[in-house]
Structure 1
Amino acid sequence: MKHDPPQPSSDGLETAEVPAAPVQAETIFGDQFPIAQRYAELLAGSGVIRGLIGPREAPRLWERHILNCAVMTDLIAADSTVVDVGSGAGLPGLVIAIRRPDLSVTLVEPLLRRVRWLDEVIDELGLTNVTVVRGRAETVWDEVAPADVVTSRAVSALENLAVWSVPLVRPGGWWLPMKGASVAEEIDQGRELLAAVGITEIEIVECGAEILDEPTTVARLRVGVPRRLGKSGAKKGAKKPSRRQSANGHGRTGQ
Protein backbone atom coordinates (compact mmCIF):
# COMPACT_ATOMS: atom_id res chain seq x y z
CA MET A 1 0.00 0.00 0.00
CA LYS A 2 1.49 3.34 -1.04
CA HIS A 3 1.59 6.36 1.21
CA ASP A 4 -0.29 9.45 0.14
CA PRO A 5 2.20 12.15 -0.90
CA PRO A 6 2.49 15.40 1.07
CA GLN A 7 -0.17 17.90 0.08
CA PRO A 8 -0.11 21.70 0.30
CA SER A 9 -2.59 23.23 2.69
CA SER A 10 -4.81 26.20 1.88
CA ASP A 11 -2.23 28.56 3.44
CA GLY A 12 0.66 27.09 1.47
CA LEU A 13 2.09 24.91 4.24
CA GLU A 14 2.84 21.30 3.44
CA THR A 15 1.21 18.49 5.36
CA ALA A 16 3.15 15.36 6.29
CA GLU A 17 2.97 12.11 4.39
CA VAL A 18 0.13 9.91 5.63
CA PRO A 19 1.60 6.56 6.66
CA ALA A 20 0.01 3.32 5.57
CA ALA A 21 -1.86 1.55 8.34
CA PRO A 22 -0.11 -1.62 9.56
CA VAL A 23 -2.02 -4.89 9.37
CA GLN A 24 -2.58 -4.85 13.13
CA ALA A 25 -4.64 -1.67 12.88
CA GLU A 26 -7.69 -3.36 11.33
CA THR A 27 -7.50 -6.15 13.90
CA ILE A 28 -7.31 -3.72 16.82
CA PHE A 29 -9.99 -1.28 15.64
CA GLY A 30 -12.36 -3.67 13.88
CA ASP A 31 -15.42 -1.83 12.59
CA GLN A 32 -13.96 1.44 13.85
CA PHE A 33 -10.92 1.18 11.58
CA PRO A 34 -12.15 3.68 8.94
CA ILE A 35 -12.57 6.30 11.66
CA ALA A 36 -9.10 5.56 13.02
CA GLN A 37 -7.68 5.85 9.51
CA ARG A 38 -9.30 9.25 9.01
CA TYR A 39 -7.92 10.37 12.37
CA ALA A 40 -4.42 9.40 11.19
CA GLU A 41 -4.94 11.52 8.08
CA LEU A 42 -6.01 14.49 10.18
CA LEU A 43 -3.01 14.10 12.48
CA ALA A 44 -0.64 14.05 9.51
CA GLY A 45 -2.47 16.94 7.87
CA SER A 46 -3.88 19.73 9.98
CA GLY A 47 -2.31 18.23 13.10
CA VAL A 48 1.17 18.86 11.70
CA ILE A 49 0.32 22.23 10.15
CA ARG A 50 -1.11 23.52 13.41
CA GLY A 51 1.64 22.13 15.62
CA LEU A 52 -0.26 19.34 17.36
CA ILE A 53 2.45 16.87 16.38
CA GLY A 54 5.88 17.31 14.83
CA PRO A 55 6.37 16.40 11.15
CA ARG A 56 8.99 13.81 12.12
CA GLU A 57 6.33 11.94 14.10
CA ALA A 58 4.07 11.48 11.07
CA PRO A 59 5.80 8.39 9.62
CA ARG A 60 5.30 6.53 12.89
CA LEU A 61 1.82 7.74 13.73
CA TRP A 62 0.30 4.28 13.81
CA GLU A 63 2.87 2.26 15.74
CA ARG A 64 4.16 4.92 18.15
CA HIS A 65 0.95 6.82 18.78
CA ILE A 66 -2.39 5.45 17.60
CA LEU A 67 -1.96 1.73 18.22
CA ASN A 68 0.13 2.43 21.29
CA CYS A 69 -2.89 4.22 22.77
CA ALA A 70 -5.58 1.93 21.41
CA VAL A 71 -4.46 -1.24 23.17
CA MET A 72 -4.74 0.34 26.61
CA THR A 73 -8.53 0.27 26.23
CA ASP A 74 -8.32 -3.45 27.09
CA LEU A 75 -7.97 -2.28 30.69
CA ILE A 76 -11.21 -0.28 30.67
CA ALA A 77 -14.53 -1.88 31.58
CA ALA A 78 -17.57 -1.57 29.31
CA ASP A 79 -19.62 1.63 29.49
CA SER A 80 -17.07 3.43 31.67
CA THR A 81 -16.60 7.17 31.93
CA VAL A 82 -13.07 8.30 31.07
CA VAL A 83 -11.22 11.57 31.62
CA ASP A 84 -8.03 12.14 29.61
CA VAL A 85 -5.72 14.70 31.24
CA GLY A 86 -3.66 16.86 28.88
CA SER A 87 -5.14 15.45 25.68
CA GLY A 88 -2.99 17.43 23.24
CA ALA A 89 -3.61 15.82 19.85
CA GLY A 90 -6.11 13.37 21.36
CA LEU A 91 -3.58 10.83 22.56
CA PRO A 92 -4.83 8.72 24.19
CA GLY A 93 -8.31 10.20 24.72
CA LEU A 94 -9.56 10.42 21.13
CA VAL A 95 -8.06 7.04 20.26
CA ILE A 96 -9.86 5.52 23.25
CA ALA A 97 -13.14 7.07 22.11
CA ILE A 98 -12.65 5.82 18.54
CA ARG A 99 -11.87 2.22 19.49
CA ARG A 100 -14.51 2.06 22.24
CA PRO A 101 -17.74 3.88 21.32
CA ASP A 102 -19.32 2.43 24.48
CA LEU A 103 -17.13 4.74 26.59
CA SER A 104 -17.95 8.33 27.49
CA VAL A 105 -14.71 10.32 27.18
CA THR A 106 -13.84 13.81 28.41
CA LEU A 107 -10.71 15.45 27.02
CA VAL A 108 -9.10 18.00 29.37
CA GLU A 109 -6.72 20.34 27.54
CA PRO A 110 -5.65 23.91 28.46
CA LEU A 111 -4.38 25.34 25.17
CA LEU A 112 -6.96 27.03 22.97
CA ARG A 113 -5.40 26.05 19.63
CA ARG A 114 -5.46 22.39 20.67
CA VAL A 115 -9.02 22.62 21.96
CA ARG A 116 -10.16 24.12 18.67
CA TRP A 117 -8.42 21.37 16.70
CA LEU A 118 -9.91 18.66 18.90
CA ASP A 119 -13.40 20.11 18.43
CA GLU A 120 -12.93 20.15 14.66
CA VAL A 121 -11.63 16.56 14.58
CA ILE A 122 -14.50 15.31 16.73
CA ASP A 123 -16.97 16.86 14.30
CA GLU A 124 -15.08 15.52 11.27
CA LEU A 125 -15.04 11.99 12.69
CA GLY A 126 -18.68 12.13 13.79
CA LEU A 127 -17.85 11.09 17.35
CA THR A 128 -20.73 11.46 19.80
CA ASN A 129 -19.04 10.02 22.90
CA VAL A 130 -16.46 12.80 23.44
CA THR A 131 -16.56 16.14 25.28
CA VAL A 132 -13.74 18.71 25.33
CA VAL A 133 -13.07 20.77 28.46
CA ARG A 134 -10.58 23.59 28.28
CA GLY A 135 -8.58 23.64 31.49
CA ARG A 136 -5.79 22.23 33.59
CA ALA A 137 -6.70 19.12 35.54
CA GLU A 138 -6.17 20.76 38.91
CA THR A 139 -8.53 23.62 38.04
CA VAL A 140 -11.45 21.48 36.86
CA TRP A 141 -11.79 19.19 39.87
CA ASP A 142 -15.15 20.73 40.73
CA GLU A 143 -16.37 21.02 37.13
CA VAL A 144 -15.73 17.55 35.72
CA ALA A 145 -17.70 14.64 37.17
CA PRO A 146 -15.50 12.01 38.87
CA ALA A 147 -14.77 9.30 36.30
CA ASP A 148 -14.42 5.54 36.39
CA VAL A 149 -11.02 5.92 34.70
CA VAL A 150 -8.55 8.78 34.31
CA THR A 151 -5.78 8.56 31.71
CA SER A 152 -2.81 10.61 30.53
CA ARG A 153 0.17 10.25 28.23
CA ALA A 154 3.53 12.05 28.27
CA VAL A 155 2.23 14.89 30.41
CA SER A 156 4.52 15.10 33.45
CA ALA A 157 6.31 13.16 36.18
CA LEU A 158 4.18 10.56 37.95
CA GLU A 159 4.04 12.43 41.26
CA ASN A 160 2.80 15.61 39.57
CA LEU A 161 0.23 13.61 37.64
CA ALA A 162 -0.96 11.92 40.82
CA VAL A 163 -1.73 15.26 42.47
CA TRP A 164 -3.55 16.56 39.37
CA SER A 165 -5.32 13.41 38.18
CA VAL A 166 -6.41 11.30 41.15
CA PRO A 167 -9.00 13.85 42.37
CA LEU A 168 -10.78 13.31 39.03
CA VAL A 169 -11.25 9.58 39.73
CA ARG A 170 -14.36 8.34 41.51
CA PRO A 171 -13.85 6.32 44.71
CA GLY A 172 -12.99 2.77 43.67
CA GLY A 173 -12.02 3.86 40.14
CA TRP A 174 -8.77 3.55 38.21
CA TRP A 175 -5.95 5.86 37.26
CA LEU A 176 -4.17 4.61 34.11
CA PRO A 177 -1.20 6.83 33.22
CA MET A 178 0.72 5.71 30.15
CA LYS A 179 4.39 5.75 31.13
CA GLY A 180 7.60 4.40 29.66
CA ALA A 181 10.33 2.18 31.02
CA SER A 182 10.89 4.48 34.00
CA VAL A 183 7.46 3.84 35.51
CA ALA A 184 8.62 1.26 38.09
CA GLU A 185 11.28 3.64 39.36
CA GLU A 186 8.81 6.53 39.47
CA ILE A 187 6.35 4.42 41.43
CA ASP A 188 9.03 3.36 43.94
CA GLN A 189 10.09 6.95 44.46
CA GLY A 190 6.53 8.18 44.82
CA ARG A 191 4.88 5.54 47.00
CA GLU A 192 4.37 7.88 49.93
CA LEU A 193 2.67 10.50 47.77
CA LEU A 194 0.61 7.89 45.91
CA ALA A 195 -0.73 6.64 49.24
CA ALA A 196 -1.44 10.21 50.30
CA VAL A 197 -3.65 10.90 47.27
CA GLY A 198 -5.60 7.66 47.78
CA ILE A 199 -3.91 4.93 45.72
CA THR A 200 -4.58 1.50 47.24
CA GLU A 201 -3.36 -0.93 44.55
CA ILE A 202 -0.50 -0.67 42.04
CA GLU A 203 0.23 -2.83 39.02
CA ILE A 204 2.38 -2.29 35.92
CA VAL A 205 0.74 -3.77 32.84
CA GLU A 206 1.98 -4.36 29.29
CA CYS A 207 -0.87 -3.97 26.81
CA GLY A 208 -0.87 -5.35 23.28
CA ALA A 209 2.10 -7.67 23.76
CA GLU A 210 0.43 -10.33 21.62
CA ILE A 211 -0.07 -8.02 18.63
CA LEU A 212 2.39 -5.10 18.81
CA ASP A 213 6.16 -5.25 18.38
CA GLU A 214 6.48 -2.81 21.28
CA PRO A 215 3.72 -3.27 23.87
CA THR A 216 2.34 -0.28 25.77
CA THR A 217 3.33 0.13 29.41
CA VAL A 218 0.51 1.36 31.62
CA ALA A 219 0.51 1.90 35.38
CA ARG A 220 -2.79 0.52 36.69
CA LEU A 221 -3.58 2.16 40.00
CA ARG A 222 -6.74 1.63 42.03
CA VAL A 223 -8.07 4.70 43.82
CA GLY A 224 -9.75 4.16 47.17
CA VAL A 225 -10.87 7.56 48.42
CA PRO A 226 -9.27 10.28 46.26
CA ARG A 227 -7.64 13.11 48.20
CA ARG A 228 -6.71 16.59 47.06
CA LEU A 229 -3.28 17.82 48.11
CA GLY A 230 -3.89 21.35 46.90
CA LYS A 231 -3.41 23.29 43.69
CA SER A 232 -0.06 24.90 44.47
CA GLY A 233 1.53 23.29 41.45
CA ALA A 234 -1.05 24.60 39.00
CA LYS A 235 0.23 26.87 36.26
CA LYS A 236 -1.60 29.81 34.84
CA GLY A 237 -3.94 28.92 32.04
CA ALA A 238 -6.27 30.82 29.76
CA LYS A 239 -9.95 30.70 30.63
CA LYS A 240 -11.77 31.19 27.36
CA PRO A 241 -14.36 28.43 26.93
CA SER A 242 -14.45 25.77 24.28
CA ARG A 243 -17.67 25.87 22.31
CA ARG A 244 -18.41 22.39 23.69
CA GLN A 245 -17.84 22.98 27.38
CA SER A 246 -16.22 25.63 29.54
CA ALA A 247 -13.75 25.22 32.38
CA ASN A 248 -10.77 27.10 33.70
CA GLY A 249 -7.45 26.92 32.11
CA HIS A 250 -3.45 21.25 32.41
CA GLY A 251 -1.99 19.39 29.70
CA ARG A 252 0.99 18.29 27.72
CA THR A 253 3.30 20.74 26.09
CA GLY A 254 4.89 18.35 23.66
CA GLN A 255 1.98 17.04 21.61
Structure 2
Amino acid sequence: GPREVGRLWDRHLLNCAVIGELLERGDRVVDIGSGAGLPGVPLAIARPDLQVVLLDPLLRRTEFLREMVTDLGVAVEIVRGRAEESWVQDQLGGSDAAVSRAVAALDKLTKWSMPLIRPNGRMLAIKGERAHDEVREHRRVMIASGAVDVRVVTCGANHLRPPATVVFAR
Protein backbone atom coordinates (compact mmCIF):
# COMPACT_ATOMS: atom_id res chain seq x y z
CA GLY A 1 0.00 0.00 0.00
CA PRO A 2 0.92 3.67 0.06
CA ARG A 3 2.78 3.33 3.38
CA GLU A 4 5.09 0.74 1.80
CA VAL A 5 6.59 3.07 -0.86
CA GLY A 6 9.47 4.14 1.38
CA ARG A 7 10.29 0.52 2.20
CA LEU A 8 9.76 -0.92 -1.29
CA TRP A 9 13.44 -1.43 -2.07
CA ASP A 10 14.49 -3.11 1.21
CA ARG A 11 11.34 -4.87 2.30
CA HIS A 12 10.23 -6.20 -1.07
CA LEU A 13 12.91 -6.17 -3.77
CA LEU A 14 16.21 -6.66 -1.93
CA ASN A 15 14.46 -8.97 0.52
CA CYS A 16 13.77 -11.27 -2.45
CA ALA A 17 17.09 -10.88 -4.25
CA VAL A 18 19.24 -11.84 -1.26
CA ILE A 19 17.91 -15.41 -1.16
CA GLY A 20 20.30 -15.94 -4.05
CA GLU A 21 22.87 -16.53 -1.29
CA LEU A 22 21.21 -19.92 -0.74
CA LEU A 23 21.33 -21.02 -4.38
CA GLU A 24 24.06 -22.61 -6.48
CA ARG A 25 25.31 -21.33 -9.82
CA GLY A 26 22.99 -22.38 -12.65
CA ASP A 27 20.21 -23.69 -10.40
CA ARG A 28 16.74 -24.14 -11.85
CA VAL A 29 14.43 -22.27 -9.48
CA VAL A 30 10.61 -22.36 -9.42
CA ASP A 31 8.87 -19.34 -7.88
CA ILE A 32 5.60 -20.77 -6.54
CA GLY A 33 2.69 -18.32 -6.60
CA SER A 34 4.78 -15.64 -8.24
CA GLY A 35 1.99 -13.05 -8.28
CA ALA A 36 3.67 -9.72 -9.05
CA GLY A 37 6.98 -11.50 -9.62
CA LEU A 38 8.27 -11.74 -6.06
CA PRO A 39 10.69 -13.30 -5.32
CA GLY A 40 11.45 -14.63 -8.82
CA VAL A 41 12.04 -11.43 -10.80
CA PRO A 42 14.42 -9.72 -8.34
CA LEU A 43 16.20 -13.05 -7.96
CA ALA A 44 16.58 -13.41 -11.75
CA ILE A 45 17.92 -9.86 -12.00
CA ALA A 46 20.40 -10.34 -9.15
CA ARG A 47 21.46 -13.81 -10.33
CA PRO A 48 21.26 -14.03 -14.14
CA ASP A 49 23.02 -17.42 -13.97
CA LEU A 50 19.84 -18.96 -12.52
CA GLN A 51 17.08 -20.54 -14.59
CA VAL A 52 14.02 -18.97 -12.99
CA VAL A 53 10.47 -20.21 -13.62
CA LEU A 54 7.58 -18.01 -12.46
CA LEU A 55 4.54 -20.17 -11.61
CA ASP A 56 1.12 -18.62 -11.05
CA PRO A 57 -2.42 -19.91 -11.67
CA LEU A 58 -4.06 -16.68 -12.85
CA LEU A 59 -4.07 -15.58 -16.48
CA ARG A 60 -4.04 -11.87 -15.67
CA ARG A 61 -0.96 -12.34 -13.48
CA THR A 62 0.94 -14.42 -16.02
CA GLU A 63 0.12 -11.86 -18.73
CA PHE A 64 1.38 -9.09 -16.44
CA LEU A 65 4.54 -11.09 -15.70
CA ARG A 66 5.21 -11.66 -19.42
CA GLU A 67 4.88 -7.94 -20.10
CA MET A 68 7.05 -7.00 -17.12
CA VAL A 69 9.93 -9.37 -17.84
CA THR A 70 9.88 -8.35 -21.51
CA ASP A 71 10.11 -4.68 -20.51
CA LEU A 72 12.89 -5.45 -18.01
CA GLY A 73 14.75 -7.75 -20.41
CA VAL A 74 14.84 -10.55 -17.84
CA ALA A 75 15.14 -14.11 -19.13
CA VAL A 76 12.65 -16.21 -17.15
CA GLU A 77 10.10 -18.87 -18.01
CA ILE A 78 6.47 -18.21 -17.09
CA VAL A 79 4.07 -21.09 -16.45
CA ARG A 80 0.37 -20.68 -15.74
CA GLY A 81 -0.66 -23.41 -13.35
CA ARG A 82 -0.74 -24.60 -9.76
CA ALA A 83 2.13 -26.39 -8.04
CA GLU A 84 -0.19 -29.19 -6.93
CA GLU A 85 -1.28 -30.04 -10.50
CA SER A 86 0.30 -33.23 -11.85
CA TRP A 87 1.17 -31.71 -15.25
CA VAL A 88 3.03 -28.88 -13.46
CA GLN A 89 4.90 -31.43 -11.35
CA ASP A 90 5.76 -33.38 -14.51
CA GLN A 91 7.02 -30.24 -16.28
CA LEU A 92 8.83 -28.57 -13.38
CA GLY A 93 9.70 -31.53 -11.14
CA GLY A 94 13.40 -32.08 -10.56
CA SER A 95 14.13 -28.39 -10.08
CA ASP A 96 17.00 -27.42 -7.79
CA ALA A 97 14.89 -25.11 -5.65
CA ALA A 98 11.35 -23.92 -5.02
CA VAL A 99 11.06 -20.37 -3.67
CA SER A 100 8.08 -18.43 -2.40
CA ARG A 101 7.02 -15.29 -0.61
CA ALA A 102 3.66 -14.61 1.08
CA VAL A 103 1.91 -17.54 -0.62
CA ALA A 104 0.61 -19.88 2.09
CA ALA A 105 1.31 -21.42 5.47
CA LEU A 106 4.26 -23.81 5.61
CA ASP A 107 2.14 -26.97 5.70
CA LYS A 108 0.54 -26.21 2.32
CA LEU A 109 3.69 -24.66 0.90
CA THR A 110 5.75 -27.75 1.70
CA LYS A 111 3.16 -30.04 0.06
CA TRP A 112 3.35 -27.87 -3.08
CA SER A 113 7.14 -27.43 -3.08
CA MET A 114 8.53 -30.89 -2.40
CA PRO A 115 7.18 -32.55 -5.59
CA LEU A 116 8.87 -29.83 -7.66
CA ILE A 117 12.40 -30.24 -6.32
CA ARG A 118 15.00 -32.92 -6.94
CA PRO A 119 16.39 -35.03 -4.08
CA ASN A 120 18.54 -32.70 -1.95
CA GLY A 121 16.94 -29.72 -3.67
CA ARG A 122 15.93 -26.75 -1.55
CA MET A 123 12.65 -25.20 -0.48
CA LEU A 124 13.18 -21.53 0.41
CA ALA A 125 10.16 -19.74 1.84
CA ILE A 126 10.63 -16.06 2.69
CA LYS A 127 8.81 -15.55 5.96
CA GLY A 128 8.56 -12.80 8.52
CA GLU A 129 9.21 -12.57 12.21
CA ARG A 130 6.90 -15.53 12.94
CA ALA A 131 9.03 -17.98 10.94
CA HIS A 132 10.20 -19.95 13.99
CA ASP A 133 6.63 -20.23 15.30
CA GLU A 134 5.37 -21.36 11.90
CA VAL A 135 8.08 -24.03 11.66
CA ARG A 136 7.18 -25.31 15.14
CA GLU A 137 3.50 -25.39 14.20
CA HIS A 138 3.95 -27.18 10.87
CA ARG A 139 7.16 -29.24 11.29
CA ARG A 140 5.28 -32.57 11.53
CA VAL A 141 3.40 -31.97 8.26
CA MET A 142 6.57 -30.69 6.59
CA ILE A 143 8.46 -33.86 7.48
CA ALA A 144 5.51 -36.05 6.42
CA SER A 145 5.61 -34.20 3.07
CA GLY A 146 9.26 -35.19 2.58
CA ALA A 147 11.10 -32.17 3.99
CA VAL A 148 14.30 -32.71 5.95
CA ASP A 149 16.85 -30.33 7.44
CA VAL A 150 14.06 -27.85 8.23
CA ARG A 151 15.45 -24.63 9.72
CA VAL A 152 15.12 -20.87 9.77
CA VAL A 153 18.02 -18.95 8.23
CA THR A 154 18.70 -15.31 7.41
CA CYS A 155 20.04 -13.79 4.20
CA GLY A 156 21.37 -10.41 3.22
CA ALA A 157 22.79 -9.37 6.58
CA ASN A 158 25.34 -7.21 4.73
CA HIS A 159 22.60 -5.45 2.75
CA LEU A 160 19.42 -5.39 4.85
CA ARG A 161 18.37 -4.43 8.35
CA PRO A 162 16.76 -6.68 9.38
CA PRO A 163 18.00 -9.43 7.06
CA ALA A 164 15.53 -11.61 5.16
CA THR A 165 14.13 -14.53 7.17
CA VAL A 166 13.84 -17.75 5.18
CA VAL A 167 12.50 -21.18 6.06
CA PHE A 168 14.93 -23.65 4.49
CA ALA A 169 14.24 -27.33 3.88
CA ARG A 170 15.68 -30.09 1.71
TM-score of the superposition, structure 1-length normalised? 0.63
* AA partner of residue 91 (structure 1): L
Following the alignment from structure 2 to structure 1, what is the Cα–Cα distance between the partners of residues 119 and 48? 24
Q: Which residue of 2 aligns with 1:151?
A: 99
1:21-40 matches, cutoff 5 A? none
- Of the three residues 48, 53, 64, the one matched with 1:106 is 53
Following the alignment from structure 2 to structure 1, what is the Cα–Cα distance between the partners of residues 160 and 123? 23
* Deviation readout 1:89-143 (Å, 9 max, x if unpaired): 1110011101000000000011111111110111111122x10001111112123
Q: Which residue of 1 aligns with 2:158?
A: 210
RMSD, aligned CA: 1.3
* AA partner of residue 99 (structure 1): A
Following the alignment from structure 1 to structure 2, what is the Cα–Cα distance between the partners of residues 146 and 56? 40
Residue aligned with 2:121, SS? strand
Following the alignment from structure 1 to structure 2, what is the Cα–Cα distance between the partners of residues 181 and 167? 27
Structure having the higher Rg:
1
1:152-171 matches, cutoff 5 A? 152-171=100-119
1:124-139 matches, cutoff 5 A? 124-128=71-75, 130-139=76-85
* AA partner of residue 154 (structure 1): A
- Of the three residues 45, 57, 62, the one matched with 2:9 is 62
- Of the three residues 84, 94, 97, the one matched with 2:41 is 94
Q: Does 1:198 align with 2:146?
A: yes
* CA 1:148–1:180: 2 relative to 1, 3 Å: same
Gaps spanning 5+ residues in structure 2: where? none
Gaps spanning 5+ residues in structure 1: where? 1-53, 223-255
Q: How far is the alpha carbon of 1:55 from its aligned partner?
A: 4.4
Following the alignment from structure 2 to structure 1, what is the Cα–Cα distance between the partners of residues 148 and 23? 18
Following the alignment from structure 1 to structure 2, what is the Cα–Cα distance between the partners of residues 66 and 82? 17
Greater strand proportion: 2
Moved more, 72-81 or 180-189: 180-189
Q: How many residues are matched?
A: 168
